[in-house]
Structure 1
């Protein structure tokens, strides 16, 4: 199996149609939204400061995430950083370590797209232990700061590039 992280912009029409069918588990939707919401944000706000990335497994889209920078940074993010949003792995491919593969490809994707960005930040629900453990296991650092989010308390994590 060949995995690669690519820009949404590089997908073929067929791959974009496949990505539209990406499904996550219902209990994950409050944390990351669904693919419709993620793609709607990406396509409605067409700007150089929001970028979508897709995880391909043998050229088939199996995951998605979005990065934001500049004026689109959330209030909790440090200026000059990029933030990770809407990380989703298709439910039919979960449990295969693809979240790790996706996160391992993230630094190179950011460096290629935005070489001036020194760090990536994300916000994760403090009760979302699978996600929290995934990020920490891939080298993200908990900043020790929490704030009240939409669902509950959120932890801020940081990855230095």
Structure 2
């Protein structure tokens, strides 16, 4: 099965309709939100310099979605020279097939194509979200060692630094 991470705006009308049906497991909603919330965040702020959506296509069918943000949409804890990852969602019927990992593997190249000036990626993950922490750390993200009070509980900050000079 061929996968590729593509900007939301390049999706066909049919693919956008398919993406609108993406659902996560109910217990994941507190962490990632739902697709309506993620797409609303993207569409109410149609500034590609500040926020971009990406869909993971598996054989041209959307199976996952994520948001990347830059200033002025960066959260308070993020470095201004980075992009931050938000709302990573894999459709509940597609989970366990490596699509989350595929998103993370394709993300650095997609982020650099969108914003060549960035120095890295950052994310914040609830410390209790063991599955997400495991996935991020196994994909090469680095835990900063800092925890802060988030909306649910304590959150950890993780980063991905690009291996090339800017």
TM-score by length of 1: 0.99
Distance (Å, rounded) in 1 between the aligned partners of 2:78 and 2:31 = 18
- Once the two structures are TM-superposed, the CA of residue 78 in structure 1 deviates from its matched residue by 1.1
- Once the two structures are TM-superposed, the CA of residue 3 in structure 1 deviates from its matched residue by 0.4
Structure 2 match to 1:113: 114
Structure 2 match to 1:27: 27
Structure 2 match to 1:103: 104
Aligned-CA RMSD value: 0.5
Map 1:12-161 onto structure 2 (within 5 A).
Answer: 12-48=12-48, 49-161=50-162
Q: Secondary structure at the match of 2:158?
A: strand
Distance (Å, rounded) in 2 between the aligned partners of 1:88 and 1:52 = 12
Structure 1 match to 2:11: 11
Distance (Å, rounded) in 1 between the aligned partners of 2:7 and 2:116 = 15
Distance (Å, rounded) in 2 between the aligned partners of 1:150 and 1:70 = 21
- Once the two structures are TM-superposed, the CA of residue 53 in structure 1 deviates from its matched residue by 0.3
Structure 1, unmatched stretches of 5+, are none
- Once the two structures are TM-superposed, the CA of residue 76 in structure 1 deviates from its matched residue by 1.0
Distance (Å, rounded) in 1 between the aligned partners of 2:66 and 2:92 = 15
Distance (Å, rounded) in 2 between the aligned partners of 1:80 and 1:103 = 19
Distance (Å, rounded) in 1 between the aligned partners of 2:66 and 2:160 = 16
Moved over 3 A (4+): none
Distance (Å, rounded) in 2 between the aligned partners of 1:79 and 1:51 = 16
Structure 2, unmatched stretches of 5+, are none
